[in-house]
Amino acid sequence: MKALVISVDLGNPDFQAHSEEFIMLAEGAGAEIVGHLVARRQRPDAAYFIGKGKLEEAKLIADEHQADIILFDQPLSPAQQRNLERGLNRRVVDRVALILDIFALRAKSHEGKLQVELAQLQHLSTRLTRLWTHLERQRGGIGMRGPGESQLEMDRRMIGAKVKLLRERLDRAQRQRSTQRRSRMRGGIMSISLVGYTNAGKSTLFNALTRAGAYAADQLFATLDTTTRKLWIDGAGQVVVSDTVGFIRDLPPTLIAAFRATLEETVQADLLLHVVDASSHQRDEQIVEVHKVLADIGAGDIPRIMVYNKIDAAGYEPRVERDEHGTIVRVFVSALTRAGLDGLRQAIVESGQVAGNNAFNVENI
């Protein structure tokens, strides 16, 4: 599908990285980028987010390149989206909807699909007015007589009922997951979650540690469903390692809420391995974004080890760094070549202090 990307520079210092990331998202969704328009504004326009002049320029570019769809790199209000679609005469997909679309594309597990559908319906419920041309038409005829109900009201009622049903199903899945987690806790098994920015290499590291076959690819949000495996580490005994969905800057609040059940593996973990793409120029900003999301989901105080991955691409050697107290602060590894994994395993043993009775007592690093 041919797409015109519209990026809006509101004066943020990380605009370029934000823009490049959005294009990666678009390509990950299967879009063929035929044009890229940058609009610079001090503040969003109430009606179009971009000004009327940029709107006309976008229409010309879209017509010239025969773009099928407009991808907008900011979250839009329902009114802004409706106005843009009318002005551009094309479907407009904002940042939130694009991320939801990728999540729908990648979700494989039953629970993951439920979570995506819930988030999509919550996003859709505020935008119903743009989907129908017959919103106020009263339905009549045999079996439909009486006070009547507008199509919009029916749509809202149907979505509300579906949202309720999805939440009930997710609650059941969450209770099942909690039961499994309590069983592991009773068995004294240490729980470790891999967290990090999307495309940092978490799934590749997960596969390298556990010899699992979790899907791993050089794309944003390659992993959406939590995968859990047991692993034996000498000195630590049996541990459970979970690979979780990657984080991204400005993650839509609806997604954080919808995926809270999956992210509970992170919240309930004994130790977080914060995987960082050591080769990324934006790694410091990405670290900050991950810390924000961890705080949002209530995992900000869980002990963690910083794991600098992709050292083969960054030109670093595998090593373990400690602070002046001898506490491990960073581990440098390559999940792809498996360099540095022995150091990571030793870091887990030291951090967990789990030798013998699997008791966990670790300081934040």
* Tens digit of each residue's pLDDT (9 = 90 or more) over 57-70: 999 999 999 999 99
pLDDT (0 to 100) of residue 58: 96
Residues that constitute the known binding site for GTP: 196-203, 221-225, 243-246, 309-312, 334-336
Q: Is residue 309 a contact partner of residue 275, using CB atoms and an 8 Å limit?
A: yes
Residues that constitute the known binding site: 196-203, 221-225, 243-246, 309-312, 334-336
Q: With 90 as the cut, is the pLDDT of residue 106 above it?
A: no
State mean pLDDT over 45-54: 93
Between 148 and 251, the more confident residue is 251
pLDDT (0 to 100) of residue 83: 93
pLDDT (0 to 100) of residue 190: 84
* CA 124/CA 121 separation, integer angstroms: 5
Lowest pLDDT segment from 1-10, 25-34, 168-177, 202-211: 168-177
How many other CB atoms are there within 10 angstroms of residue 230's CB atom?
11
pLDDT (0 to 100) of residue 24: 85
* CA 216/CA 218 separation, integer angstroms: 7
Q: With 90 as the cut, is the pLDDT of residue 273 above it?
A: yes
pLDDT (0 to 100) of residue 355: 34
- The per-residue b/e assignment along 298-313, b for 16 or more CB within 10 angstroms, e otherwise, is ebeebbbbbbbbbbbe
CATH code linked to domain 2-93: 3.40.50.11060
Q: With 70 as the cut, is the pLDDT of residue 274 above it?
A: yes
Residue among 215, 192, 221, 113 at smallest CA distance from 360: 192
pLDDT in tens, 193-204: 999 998 899 989
* Residue 157 banded pLDDT, cuts 50, 70, 90: confident
pLDDT (0 to 100) of residue 144: 35
CATH class, range 188-352: alpha beta
The model's pTM is 0.71
Q: What is the mean pLDDT of the chain?
A: 79
State mean pLDDT over 31-56: 94
Q: With 90 as the cut, is the pLDDT of residue 306 above it?
A: yes
Between 114 and 272, the more confident residue is 272
* Residue 359 banded pLDDT, cuts 50, 70, 90: very low
Residues that constitute the known binding site for Mg(2+): 203, 223
Q: What percent of the chain has pLDDT over 70?
A: 75
* Residue 44 banded pLDDT, cuts 50, 70, 90: very high
Q: Do domains 2-93 and 188-352 have the same CATH topology?
A: yes
Task: Parse the chain into domains and list their residue ranges.
Answer: 2-93, 188-352
pLDDT (0 to 100) of residue 97: 86
Query: What's the DSSP call for residue 109?
Result: S
Q: With 50 as the cut, is the pLDDT of residue 138 above it?
A: no
